[in-house]
Amino acid sequence: MRRMTFIAASIAVHATDDVGSAIQRAADAVKMGAALIEWRIDALAEEPNAINAVGRLVRESPAPCIVTCRPEWEGGEYRGDEPARISLFEALVIDDSQSAGPRYIDVELAAYQRSENLKQKVNLAVFHPAQVRDMHTGLILSSHDFRGRPRDLLQRIEAMTNEPACAVIKVAWQARSLRDNLEAFDLLLQRQKPTIALCMGQFGLMSRVLAPKFGGFLTFATDHPAEVTAPGQPTIDELKNLYHFDRITADTRVYGVIGWPVEHSRSPAIHNGGFEAIGFDGMYLPLPIPPEYEHFKATIGAMIDHPRLNFRGASVTIPHKENLLRFVLERGGRIDPLSERIGAANTLIVGSAGGLECANTDCSAAVQSLCAGMGIGAKDLGEKRIAVIGAGGVARAVVAGLSDAGATMVIFNRRHERAEQLAAEFNGRWTAAGRTAKVVAGKMNSLACGCFHVFINCTPVGMAGTEAEGESPLYVPGADDVPLNDEVVVFDTVYTPERTPLIQEAESRGAKVITGMEMFLRQAAMQFEMWTGKAAPIEVFNKALMKRQ
Ligand code: NAP
């Protein structure tokens, strides 16, 4: 039977007064799904009565525990001397008053190699093949690098492997890109002893979440985001309920959202919830890749080519939509005609044999959202006059989709020349609706004058966390008020927040509204179907999203 990968809740205890609350936190962590507790006693170990406090932590630990007292020189907080630290470990595991002692103690490889005396003392305190006493505590030998991948990483692992007293190997380093995770996976696959191989920092989440796929001994998690004990550590709740950690097996297919930045994306909630709902063996992660094409190419290439990752697709967002098109083209993959026409794609599909396809679901999602919201068919859009505000990527997808349906559009943009460029590109094209597209550019101060049936915001104006948060794109200083009434439809592609200032204003003036969330869920549902071969109703994704809010 496959051995499970444990979730270890890492809890730092700073002072003797904190011991009671730390034990309560540990109990809550176990309820959330932690199978091991790591007591980080770096600061506590320097307190006068440390041994009693740590002894209580071990005795009352609600799950088997690891005791770690990380010195400053290895990224921890302990500033005391080595003999005191090791005496504390000895007392913990040998003292008869301790029930069974800690399940593991964690000692740095560097400390262990540096001093023969320390090594002997540690070896006396833990179980190993040559141990004559009945010891219950195992030794985790560990090595950390908070700057990057250590040059001698492989030598360090070899040294730990060859050390008879070492029960579990632990290596952790600051990932420089997503590719470092792939090396961590290779180390797990080649392990000769139980091994923990984790990457730290913003690129390292993949190694923490996918540890079960590669047989990692454990992954560390925190009970609270403000209490992480290493950079990039997820919460137990995220592991269990967002990434469905318990469902991950060696065969699990890997997906993700590629962007920069991408850590606050809602796509993992939507897709992982969808995978679970239909029983699909997939896992979806945020995949941060810096903007340059070279980063994109090297990272995605390595993920696709990794023999055991089973990377099968991605949602692609700002600033990589054009990079995706170029990459798929360079690799001889298939590009759908719509993506080619728009010049950008948002979906990567990797076939089981590594063949690539890309598609653009923003475009169809925008048209579908509009039609569903207005209660009309796509062909009826030919009768509508539509104001598109913005001339960036989303505006492009919207204009491509609506011009295909034969709608008449006026594009308004802060930088008028971009509106003119976009309009010129689509105006006069022969469309799928069997007519020539009518797309022109308008000046922002004439937004109120066009007798439009529909206004579509394709700018970030109103989006949380931007300069224009709280603003409406319909407000143009010095221009007439845009007429909004029950005959007008307002579609805001911004979806954070769902109820933007524009949506609120339009609703209060009687207009029909369509939110960006509607489009976001629809484009995700189309991606989901491309990857899984199964359609799921929008409600499935909406429910998954609501669960994580
Ligand atoms: P983009 O390519 O960067 O284009 C942004 C557009 O907005 C440009 O036309 C820009 O005008 C304009 N703009 C930016 N800041 C502005 C401001 N303060 N005032 C007026 N105009 C401003 O971005 P994008 O990819 O098109 O995305 C635009 C928005 O669409 C995003 O913010 C997101 O909220 C939304 N979106 C929604 C979905 C969905 O599924 N619902 C998907 C993707 C994106 P200039 O040309 O003058 O710079």
Residue 188, H or E segment:
helix 179-189
Q: Is the CB of residue 126 less than 8 Å from the CB of residue 137?
A: yes
Percentage of the chain modeled with pLDDT above 90: 87
Atom 32 (ligand 1): residue with closest C-alpha? 460
Query: Does residue 133 surpass a pLDDT of 90?
Result: no
Q: Does residue 48 have a pLDDT over 70?
A: yes
**114 ligand 1 Cβ < 6 A:** no
Catalytic residue among 170, 321, 384, 438: 321
121 lines ligand 1 (CB under 6 A): no
pLDDT attached to residue 93? 84
Predicted confidence band of residue 131 (pLDDT cuts 50, 70, 90): confident
What residues contact residue 526 under an 8 Å CB cut-off, 6+ apart?
A: 347, 359, 361, 364, 365
The confidence band for 3, taking pLDDT boundaries of 50, 70 and 90, is low
pLDDT at 95: 59
Is residue 228 very low, low, confident or very high in pLDDT (cuts 50, 70, 90)?
very high
**Residue 449 has which token pair?**
């004058």
Q: For residue 490, report the distance from its CA to the centre of ligand 1, in Å.
A: 16
* Average pLDDT for 247-274: 96
Closest ligand 1 atom, CA of 317?
43
Closest Cα to atom 33 of ligand 1: 494
- The predicted pLDDT at position 351 comes to 96
The CA 394 to ligand 1 mean position distance, Å, reads 7
Question: Is any ligand 1 atom within 6 A of the Cβ of residue 519?
Answer: yes
What is residue 99's predicted lDDT score, i.e. its pLDDT?
61
Cα torsion angle, 14, 17, 21, 26, sign = positive
**CA neighbours closer than 13 Å in the CB half-sphere of residue 48:** 0
Q: Does the beta carbon of 106 sit less than 6 angstroms from any atom of ligand 1?
A: no
Q: What is the pLDDT of residues 330-346, one digit of tens each?
A: 999 999 998 998 989 99
Tell me the C-alpha distance between 332 and 351, whole Å.
Answer: 13
| Alpha carbon distance 420, 234 (integer Å) | 46
What confidence score (pLDDT) does residue 7 get?
Answer: 98
Nearest CA to ligand 1 atom 7: 459
| DSSP, res 152 | T
Contacts of 241 by beta carbon, 8 Å cutoff, 6+ apart: 547, 548
Ligand 1 touching residue 270 (CB < 6 A): no
Which is it for the CA torsion 381, 382, 385, 388, positive or negative?
positive
Tens digits of per-residue pLDDT, 406-426? 899 999 999 999 999 999 999
Question: Which atom of ligand 1 is closest in space to residue 517's alpha carbon?
Answer: 41
Q: Of all residues in the chain, what percent carry a pLDDT higher than 70?
A: 99
Query: How sure is the predictor about 400, in pLDDT bands with cuts at 50, 70 and 90?
Result: very high
392 pocket-lining for ligand 1 (C-beta < 6 Å): yes
462 lines ligand 1 (CB under 6 A): no
Among 102-106, 130-134, 169-173, 336-340, the range scoring the smallest mean pLDDT is 130-134
Confidence class for position 1, pLDDT limits 50, 70, 90: very low
Cα(175)–Cα(200) distance, rounded to whole angstroms? 6
Cα of 510 from ligand 1 centre, angstroms: 25
Indicate which atom in ligand 1 lies nearest the CA of residue 390.
9
Mean pLDDT, residues 116-145: 92
Nearest CA to ligand 1 atom 20: 414
pLDDT per residue as tens digits for the range 487-523: 999 999 999 999 999 999 999 999 999 999 999 999 9
Residue 496: predicted pLDDT: 93
73, exposed or middle or buried, with CB in 10 Å at 0-12, 13-18, 19+? exposed
Q: Which amino acid is at 71?
A: P
Q: How far apart are CA 453 and CA 106, in angstroms?
A: 67
| Helix, strand, coil % over all residues of the chain, rounded to 5 | 40, 20, 40
Q: Is 313 in the pocket of ligand 1 (CB under 6 A)?
A: no
Which of 489, 541, 546, 505 is closest to 520 using CA atoms?
A: 541
Nearest CA to ligand 1 atom 37: 493
With a 6 Å cutoff on the Cβ, whether 458 touches ligand 1 is: yes
pLDDT (mean) for 233-247:
97
pLDDT in tens, 261-319: 999 899 999 999 999 999 999 999 999 999 999 999 999 999 999 999 999 999 999 99
The answer, yes or no, to whether residue 147 has pLDDT greater than 70, is yes
Please give the angle made by the CA atoms of 239, 243 and 247, to the nearest 5 degrees. Answer: 95
416 CB within 6 A, ligand 1: no
- Known catalytic residue at 534: no
| Nearest residue to 440 via CA among 457, 422, 417, 413 | 422
Q: What is the pLDDT of residues 207-223, one digit of tens each?
A: 999 999 999 999 999 99
312 C-alpha to ligand 1 centroid (Å): 29
* Stated pTM of the model: 0.94
Per DSSP, the three-state class of 76 is coil
- Per-residue tokens: 380: 């009826």
Which of 265, 362, 414 to probe ligand 1 with, by most ligand atoms within 8 A of CB? 414
Q: Residue 506 Cα, ligand 1 centroid: separation in angstroms? A: 19
**C-beta 415 within 6 A of ligand 1:** yes
Is residue 181 pLDDT above 70, yes or no?
yes
In short, whether 318's Cβ falls inside 6 Å of ligand 1 is yes
Residue 132 pLDDT: 83
Q: Which one of 346, 458, 518 would you pick to mutate in the ligand 1 pocket, going by the greatest count of ligand atoms within 8 A of its CB?
A: 458
Q: Which of 414, 459, 496, 528 to mutate to test the pocket of ligand 1 (most atoms within 8 A of CB)?
A: 459
CB 500 less than 6 A from any atom of ligand 1:
no
Quote the longest CA-to-CA distance of the chain: 91
DSSP symbol at 493: -
Q: Using the 8-state DSSP alphabet, how is residue 240 labeled?
A: I
Ligand 1, atom 31, lies closest to the CA of: 460
Q: How confident is the model at residue 97 (pLDDT cuts 50, 70, 90)?
A: low
| Residue 404 exposure: Cα atoms within 13 Å on the Cβ side | 16
Strands 408-412 and 454-457: unpaired
533 pLDDT higher than 80: yes
Instruction: Give Cβ neighbours of residue 147 (< 8 Å, ≥ 6 apart).
Output: 174
CB 96 within 8 A of CB 52: no
> What does the DSSP assignment read for 382-408?
GG-EEEEE--SHHHHHHHHHHHHTT-E
The residue whose C-alpha atom lies closest to atom 17 belonging to ligand 1 is 461
Residue nearest to atom 40 of ligand 1 (CA): 520
For ligand 1, say whether the CB of 413 is within 6 Å of any of its atoms: yes
